[in-house]
Amino acid sequence: MTAPGPVAAQAGDAQWAGPLLQIADLRVRFSQRGRQVHAVNGVSYSVWPGTTLAIVGESGSGKTVSSRAVMGLLPGTAAVTGSVRFQGQELLGLTDAQMRSRRGRDMAMVFQDPSRSLNPTMRVGIQVAEAVRAHLRLDRRAAHDRALELLHLVRLPMPRRRFVEYPHQLSGGMRQRVMIAIALACHPKLLIADEATTALDVTTQAQIMELLIELSEQLGMALVLISHDLGLAASYTDEVIVMYAGRIVEQAPTPELFSHVRMPYTKVLLDAIPRLERSSHSLFPVIGGQPPDMVSLPPGCPFAPRCPSAQERCVQENPPLAEHDPGHRWACWYPCPDGSPN
Amino acid sequence: MTAPPALLEARHVVQEFAVRDSGGVRGGVVQAVSDVSFEVRPGETLGIVGETGSGKTTLARSVLQAPRPKSGQVLFQGTDLVRLRRRKLLEIRRHLQMVFQDPFGSLDPMWRVSQIVEEPLIAYQIGSSAQRKQRVAEVLDLVGLDPGRYGARRPRELSGGQCQRVAIARAVALAPALIICDEAVSSLDTLIQAQVLNLFERLRGELGLSYLFIAHDLALVKQVSDRVAVMYLGKLCEVGPADSIYREPFHPYTRALIDSIPIPDPAAAPARPAERIRGEPPSPISPPSGCRFRTRCPRAAERCALDEPQLRALADDHLVACHFPLIPQEGRHAAAGADGATARRDLRADTRAGANDGGGRV
């Protein structure tokens, strides 16, 4: 038996024309020592087939928790509400076994630290083959061939030799390629890359990002890129979502977002990125303060205490996320004037 | 070069480590730092950029004599540290402090913030207990941590950015002349990173500090440094003023590093992927002959394998180790950027259209 090709794997879904992934009012709450941590607070977005979406935010903004909720990878202490539909089918409420069968086949995830995601005592080729056999009914020989094919696909140098090596013998970039090979084992329609290049060097990061973009185009796979790096989002994605305190605060097609920043938080983030054009010893125009305590969120806009343009209304009323320009949503009462240079 | 006398000068520093294969058999020698020379002038920030394994951390540790380099000289205010006896070295080390990458790992989790900051003062037997307490309060205040509020906390009760401020307070407590920052902001979020970088900048002005600023992010290094040294596989390949390195890089590796930086503006995205270097750095156990970058260099020729390029000045204060340096006209970043971005977006649109035609998929 040979491995089903990408076309065969997708044949059954050819008529599906809606969004691949549709998330509505997703909320995640953790109970911690009697306190309620509101990690994700009403997140809604869609991912269309074959597109690339970036979810950007600081640590604790809920970007990782919300995507793990989508993958059904949160611990039992998490209370997840709302709706997560994959090709129209609701995923929340599925049993672990049902979820397991969908993961890998429908969607897969690549994590930040490839050395911790791989088994240090197993040859990397075997780990890829194991992922193949977990989802496809293949014998050992066919799974082995398919694993080698996948290592070729992710352009691991000398795949035949690397197949029998252990993770510690590979560089960080190569290990991340192996992780991507495992994620691609059964042609997912959606790949979530959670800070997948954060631990890598800039030149390796560029190589891995280009690999991900090429693979997504070659396999018709949608890509969700979770990152704290707006620069990465600008270079490689079609659409950007900016998250703060568990909410989406701005969302727009990439060129639109970077040429017309409206949410003050996005602007602050952009200003804090080191840039080659800035002269030596120039200071960053930064704000003070810290993200709010997720146990007791303020009634108003969560960014108001740090916002340079906050006013009375911001402290009392939380601005809704609304589409103000075509395709451009933001949650702010007093947005930055349009066309402001960033 | 007509420059003021250097605060710190490294001359032909070499650091090597023997690695052993299974059974304790000598497997080879990692040539971590090979004949590196640089200087940090008073009040100056020298940035060192390079990828993982390029030897930047080993270089920093060699400067501090931890461990001592295999050969070469490290002159601090004219004294060669390599030849100093242990006690003399300890005396001088109080003027050389270090801030590390991992803010949690570099602080003792059981100690309170005030104890952590006081420790170097105790180690060098400075002042009475009361004077030390006052100094601790002073430096905590300096780094923007209220001593009354944070002094009694333990590292786990602080955020990453606050921990890094404590590490910086500890480093400045002894009023050093030079601080070595080894990836000191790499693990912080963008906003916190910008705050800590501003703090470094403020302390530079207020305390007259010099920095040896080591990081892998060229954009970041460029913004904080007066001069930048680019390191590849244990050697410096380019050293020069921060602005000219970015505007007119001479070395193909520097060019590649600049092109790999994601730019937060889709209209000025980095250059064509085809110009990017491929592959990964070779092993420092058996570095390539001649120029160490030649195995990945788009300009490599026969000569590069035979003849090792030496650092030479191509412009004022701007040195490069390359037989075929980029001529300035080719190095213009701004001009190449816009065309590259358009070309790349077109390319992506084409491949997507192609995939749809061919596969008939959604």
Residue A44 has pLDDT above 90, yes or no: yes
Distance (Å, whole) CA A97 – CA A88: 19
Distance (Å, whole) CA A147 – CA A169: 18
Nearest to A51 by CA among A184, A222, A189, A268: A222
Span A315-322, average pLDDT: 94
Residue of A nearest to B228 (CA): A280
B197, B216, B359: residue with CB nearest A202: B216
Contacts of B111 (CB under 8 A, 6+ apart): B119, B154, B155
Helix (H) or strand (E) holding B289: none
Pick the range with the lowest mean pLDDT from A163-167, B160-164, B237-241, B262-266: B262-266
Nearest to B311 by CA among B75, B35, B9, B63: B35
The answer to whether residues B296 and B279 touch, using CB atoms and an 8 Å cutoff, is: yes
Specify the pLDDT at position B274: 45
**Yes or no, beta carbons of A231 and B261 under 8 Å apart:** yes
Strand pairing class (B71-76; A190-194): unpaired
- Tell me the C-alpha to C-alpha distance, in Å, between residue B172 and each of A139, A229, B95, B135, B307: 63, 30, 9, 10, 44
Span A164-190, average pLDDT: 91
The answer to whether residues A188 and A131 touch, using CB atoms and an 8 Å cutoff, is: no
DSSP for residue B266? G
Per-residue pLDDT band at A11 (split at 50, 70, 90): very low
3-state DSSP assignment of residue B136:
helix
**Structural domains in chain A?**
18-95+222-297+317-342 (3.40.50.300)
Distance (Å, whole) CA A97 – CA A182: 20
Distance (Å, whole) CA B216 – CA B281: 14
Cis peptide bond N-terminal to B67, omega within 30? yes
Residue A223 has pLDDT above 90, yes or no: yes
Span B59-87, average pLDDT: 92
Residue A5 has pLDDT above 60, yes or no: no
Bridge partners of residue B48, in order along the sequence: B214, B229
| Two tokens, residue A117 | 């995601």
Span B5-17, average pLDDT: 92
B189, B277, B362: residue with CB nearest A203: B277
Please write the tens of the pLDDT for every residue from B96-152: 999 988 888 889 999 999 999 999 999 999 999 999 999 999 999 989 899 998 999
Distance (Å, whole) CA B48 – CA B7: 16
The answer to whether residues B265 and A258 touch, using CB atoms and an 8 Å cutoff, is: yes
Span A280-294, average pLDDT: 85
The answer to whether residues A42 and A25 touch, using CB atoms and an 8 Å cutoff, is: yes
Per-residue pLDDT band at B4 (split at 50, 70, 90): low
Span A316-340, average pLDDT: 89
Strand pairing class (A322-325; A328-330): antiparallel
Q: What is the percentage of chain B residues whose pLDDT exceeds 70? A: 87
Chain B residues touching residue A283 (CB < 8 angstroms): 198, 201
Specify the pLDDT at position B262: 83
The answer to whether residues A222 and A50 touch, using CB atoms and an 8 Å cutoff, is: yes
**Yes or no, beta carbons of B266 and A254 under 8 Å apart:** yes
Decide if A198 touches B, using CB distance below 8 A.
no
**Yes or no, beta carbons of B263 and A234 under 8 Å apart:** yes
Per the document, the length of chain A is 342
| Two tokens, residue A23 | 């998330």
Contacts of A306 (CB under 8 A, 6+ apart): A268, A287, A288, A289, A290
Ordered alpha helix ranges (H), B14-126: 56-63, 86-93, 113-123
**Yes or no, beta carbons of A279 and B243 under 8 Å apart:** yes
Specify the pLDDT at position B163: 92
Q: What is the percentage of chain B residues whose pLDDT exceeds 90? A: 55
What's the one-letter identity of residue A123? R
Span A192-199, average pLDDT: 88
ipTM for the predicted complex = 0.82
Helix (H) or strand (E) holding A80: strand A78-86
Contacts of B247 (CB under 8 A, 6+ apart): B331, B332, B333
Provide the 10 A C-beta neighbour count for residue B341: 20
Bridge partners of residue B238, in order along the sequence: B230, B320
Please write the tens of the pLDDT for every residue from B171-193: 999 999 999 999 888 888 888 88
3-state DSSP assignment of residue B62:
helix
Residue A3 has pLDDT above 70, yes or no: no
Residue of B nearest to A173 (CA): B280
Please write the tens of the pLDDT for every residue from B349-360: 433 333 333 333
**Yes or no, beta carbons of B219 and A276 under 8 Å apart:** yes
Cα B267 to chain centroid, rounded? 29
Chain B residues touching residue A258 (CB < 8 angstroms): 264-267
**Yes or no, beta carbons of A230 and B190 under 8 Å apart:** yes
Cα B36 to chain centroid, rounded? 14
Specify the pLDDT at position B355: 38
**Yes or no, beta carbons of A204 and B226 under 8 Å apart:** no
Contacts of B60 (CB under 8 A, 6+ apart): B48, B98, B180, B182, B212, B214
The whole-angstrom distance between B81's CA and the closest CA on chain A is 30
Span B304-326, average pLDDT: 93
Name the one residue in this structure whose structure tokens are 């402001």. Answer: A340
Specify the pLDDT at position A12: 46
**Yes or no, beta carbons of B191 and A58 under 8 Å apart:** yes
Top residue of A244, A273, A290 to mutate, by most chain B CBs within 10 Å, is A273
Specify the pLDDT at position B338: 39
Residue B13 has pLDDT above 90, yes or no: yes
**Yes or no, beta carbons of B278 and A207 under 8 Å apart:** yes
Bridge partners of residue A222, in order along the sequence: A190
Specify the pLDDT at position A14: 55
pTM of the predicted model as reported, rounded to 2 decimal places:
0.83
**Yes or no, beta carbons of A17 and B362 under 8 Å apart:** yes
Contacts of B125 (CB under 8 A, 6+ apart): none
Decide if A274 touches B, using CB distance below 8 A.
yes
Residue A215 has pLDDT above 80, yes or no: yes
Burial class (CB in 10 A: 0-12, 13-18, 19+), A308: exposed
B189, B264, B360: residue with CB nearest A258: B264
Provide the 10 A C-beta neighbour count for residue B270: 22
Strand pairing class (A89-90; A78-86): antiparallel
Decide if A61 touches B, using CB distance below 8 A.
no
Cα B176 to chain centroid, rounded? 19
Distance (Å, whole) CA B48 – CA B13: 15
Distance (Å, whole) CA B179 – CA B201: 12
- Tell me the C-alpha to C-alpha distance, in Å, between residue A145 and each of A129, A140, A151, B34, B295: 8, 9, 10, 43, 31
Q: What is the percentage of chain A residues whose pLDDT exceeds 70? A: 94
Specify the pLDDT at position B350: 39
Please write the tens of the pLDDT for every residue from A64-121: 999 999 999 998 889 999 999 999 999 998 998 888 888 888 899 998 887 788 999 9
Pick the range with the lowest mean pLDDT from A123-127, A335-339, B90-94, B257-261: A335-339
Specify the pLDDT at position A339: 57
Chain A residues touching residue B267 (CB < 8 angstroms): 255, 258-259
What backbone phi and psi angles, to 5 degrees, belong to B207?
A: -110, 0
Nearest to A108 by CA among A167, A183, A35: A183
| Two tokens, residue A134 | 């977990």
The whole-angstrom distance between B173's CA and the closest CA on chain A is 23
Average pLDDT of the residues of chain B: 84
Top residue of B101, B163, B190, B231 to mutate, by most chain A CBs within 10 Å, is B190
Q: What is the percentage of chain A residues whose pLDDT exceeds 90? A: 58
Per-residue pLDDT band at A251 (split at 50, 70, 90): very high
Per-residue pLDDT band at B361 (split at 50, 70, 90): very low
Residue of A nearest to B199 (CA): A283
Chain A residues touching residue B189 (CB < 8 angstroms): 58-59, 228
Please write the tens of the pLDDT for every residue from B266-280: 776 544 444 567 777
Chain B residues touching residue A173 (CB < 8 angstroms): 280
Pick the range with the lowest mean pLDDT from B42-46, B106-110, B318-322, B331-335: B331-335
Residue B222 has pLDDT above 50, yes or no: yes
Per-residue pLDDT band at A17 (split at 50, 70, 90): confident
Long-range interactions of B125-129: CB distance < 8 A, separation 24+? B126/B174
3-state DSSP assignment of residue A304:
helix
The whole-angstrom distance between A53's CA and the closest CA on chain B is 14
Name the one residue in this structure whose structure tokens are 């995507």. Answer: A67
Quickly count helices (H) and strands (E) in chain A: 13, 12
Distance (Å, whole) CA B66 – CA B84: 13
Pick the range with the lowest mean pLDDT from A100-104, A216-220, A274-278, B339-343: B339-343
Per-residue pLDDT band at B339 (split at 50, 70, 90): very low
The answer to whether residues B175 and B18 touch, using CB atoms and an 8 Å cutoff, is: no
**Yes or no, beta carbons of B361 and A16 under 8 Å apart:** no
**Yes or no, beta carbons of A10 and B280 under 8 Å apart:** no
Provide the 10 A C-beta neighbour count for residue B290: 17
Top residue of B49, B227, B263 to mutate, by most chain A CBs within 10 Å, is B263
**Yes or no, beta carbons of A201 and B277 under 8 Å apart:** no
Specify the pLDDT at position A178: 94
Average pLDDT of the residues of chain A: 88
Specify the pLDDT at position A288: 80
Please write the tens of the pLDDT for every residue from B33-67: 999 999 999 999 999 998 888 899 999 999 999 88
**Structural domains in chain B?**
1-95+176-225 (3.40.50.300), 103-175 (no CATH), 252-359 (no CATH)
Q: How far from each other are the two terminal CA atoms of chain A, in whole angstroms?
A: 56
Residue A9 has pLDDT above 50, yes or no: no
